[in-house]
């Protein structure tokens, strides 16, 4: 009976050692898994922080782009307003130029008519000068005749 008990004790001791080895192995495995869990948790935390930073950066970029867009929209509105003013001014200048062109055309016509009148008057003047010369010659002859008659 004692040997059976020794045998049973040995078996229990072997089982105990096996259980303790299994326990140590499981403890190591748990420790390894726990470390992996901590590492992954830190990685997730770091990733979340990085994502939050990226999100904040993106918000700032969007805010800056929206401000820049507002500025560009204002600039575009000002340029469109300036363009409209210039178009109105151009239309006014075209009307003024059209009026000036009409005045110039009329002045050219008047000038051509005046030149024609000057030619006519010059011709009349030449004729009158010739007639005066003839009349002066006649007058001179008559004076001579009067002197001879006296």
Distance CA 36, CA 12 (A): 35
What sign for the dihedral angle of Cα 106, 112, 116, 118?
positive
Per-residue model confidence as pLDDT tens digits over 114-143: 999 999 999 999 999 999 999 999 999 999
Contacts of 137 (CB under 8 A, 6+ apart): none
Greatest mean pLDDT range, 5-14, 43-52, 140-149: 43-52
CA distance 51 to 43: 12
Q: How confident is the model at residue 94 (pLDDT cuts 50, 70, 90)?
A: very high
Tell me what the mean pLDDT of segment 39-57 comes to.
98
pLDDT digits 0-9 by tens, 9-26: 999 999 999 999 999 999
Cα separation values, 93 from 31, 87, 98, 110, Å: 90, 10, 8, 25
């Amino acid at each position: 009976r004692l040997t059976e008990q020794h045998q049973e004790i040995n078996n229990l001791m072997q089982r105990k050692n096996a259980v303790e080895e299994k326990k140590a192995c499981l403890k190591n495995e748990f420790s390894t898994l726990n470390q992996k869990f901590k590492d992954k948790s830190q990685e997730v935390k770091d990733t979340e922080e990085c994502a939050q930073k990226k999100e904040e950066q993106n918000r700032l970029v969007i805010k800056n782009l929206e401000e820049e867009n507002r500025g560009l929209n204002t600039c575009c509105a000002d340029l469109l307003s300036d363009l409209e003013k210039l178009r109105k001014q151009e239309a006014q200048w075209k009307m003024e130029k059209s009026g000036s062109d009409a005045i110039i055309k009329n002045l050219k016509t008047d000038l051509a008519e005046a030149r024609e009148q000057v030619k006519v008057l010059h011709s009349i003047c030449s004729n009158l000068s010739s007639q005066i010369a003839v009349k002066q010659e006649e007058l001179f002859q008559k004076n001579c005749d009067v002197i001879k008659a006296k």
